[in-house]
Amino acid sequence: MSSRAGGLPGWAFLPAALGLLLIGLPAAGILLAVPWSQLPALLTSEASLAALGLSLRTSVTATALAVVLGVPLALILAWSRLPGARVIRTVVLLPLVLPPVVSGLALLTTFGRRGLLGEYLSVLGVDIAFSTTAVVLAQAFVAMPFLVLSVEGAARAAGRRHEVIAATLGAGPTTVLRRVTIPLLTPALGSGIALAFARCLGEFGATLTFAGSLQGVTRTLPLEIYLQRETDPQAAVALSLLLILLAAVLVLLTQRVRPGAGAR
């Protein structure tokens, strides 16, 4: 199979196979540990359903927030000649590489009761920390970089040629954004949304630090898993299976739209 002209050398398949095993074996391992017969009961317990519902609600909201704020940010980073673009991009991508617990701490020191903004907000009677809002903020904080990266890359690669033509046809900037830019970026936007949503579902560290772990309020699926791990390992494994499946479906979705099959 490596005999094609310009093909890879045969030995390259060895590290590739080991790499696949490194990720694939644990995934298979947890599948083997799943208590299949008790699965329905474990997944439909009150705590599980509460966690799952909360996770889905907050993840959808946080992803929507990331789209509304992240798409304009990505387009500005891709197309405008802002003087501090590099600094802005660094700030926006920071959550990708920060330990989530640090992200949570950063949010807490800003929105917490004695935080930068939290102090003013609490005067107004708004308390964000340790609420469902905090969960959404934490998820949006860690997930937005995925969306920005995906959309910015696509926008930069596509250039603005269609936009220029649309403008000469009489379309104002808002019309161009709505009828040209967004439709053309749909593939990238789709994969960005899927990745961001998956990251929201998996959020743990920042949520725990900033929002705590109150059942039905801030205890999302990953937090529930962590908690169950101590008391009921089988339930933890069952819930993990659910998260793995959700993640796999989402990642699969991002692969359906290949760059070559994209609009531009």
Partner 1 sequence: MTPALTIRAAVDDRDVRVSIEVPRGRVVALLGANGAGKSTVLGLAAGLVRPSSGTVLIGDREVAGGRWVPPHRRHISLLAQDPLLLPHLDVLANVAFGPRATGAGRERSQQIARRQLEEVGAGHLADRRPRELSGGQQQRVALARALAPRPQLVLLDEPLAALDVQAASELRQVLRTAVRSTGRTAVVVTHDLLDVLALADDVVVLDRGRVAEQGATTHLLTRPRTDFAARFAGVNLLLGTRLDEDAVRLDGGVVMHGLPDGPGRVGKANVVRIIPFAKWTTIGSAPRRPPRSARAQSRCTAPNPGAARATRSGCV
Please report, as ranges, the residues that interact with partner 1 according to CB under 8 A. Answer: 161-162, 164-173, 175-176, 179-180, 183-184, 186, 263-264
Q: How far apart are CA 170 and CA 263, in angstroms?
A: 23
Q: Which is nearer to partner 1, 4 or 161 (CB)?
A: 161
Contact 142, 203 (CB under 8 A): yes
**Shortest CB 164 distance to partner 1, Å:** 6
Which amino acid type is present at position 190? G
**Shortest CB 150 distance to partner 1, Å:** 18
Q: How far apart are CA 186 and CA 43, in angstroms?
A: 34
95: its two tokens? 């959550």
Q: Which is nearer to partner 1, 76 or 93 (CB)?
A: 76
Which residue, among 242, 232, 175, has the nearest Cα to 202 in the 3D structure?
242
Q: Which is nearer to partner 1, 179 or 256 (CB)?
A: 179
**Shortest CB 167 distance to partner 1, Å:** 4
Q: Which is nearer to partner 1, 24 or 183 (CB)?
A: 183
Q: How far apart are CA 183 and CA 33, in angstroms?
A: 44
Contact 240, 29 (CB under 8 A): no
Q: Which is nearer to partner 1, 3 or 80 (CB)?
A: 80
Q: Containing H/E element for 195?
A: helix 186-202
Which amino acid type is present at position 212? G
Q: Which is nearer to partner 1, 44 or 175 (CB)?
A: 175
Q: Which is nearer to partner 1, 60 or 167 (CB)?
A: 167
Q: How far apart are CA 136 and CA 154, in angstroms?
A: 26
Residue count (the chain): 264
Q: How many CB atoms lie within 10 A of CB 122?
A: 17
Q: Which residue has the tokens 């045969």?
A: 10
Burial readout 128-152 (b: 16 or more C-beta within 10 A, e: otherwise): bbbbbbbbbbbbbbbbbbbbbbbbb
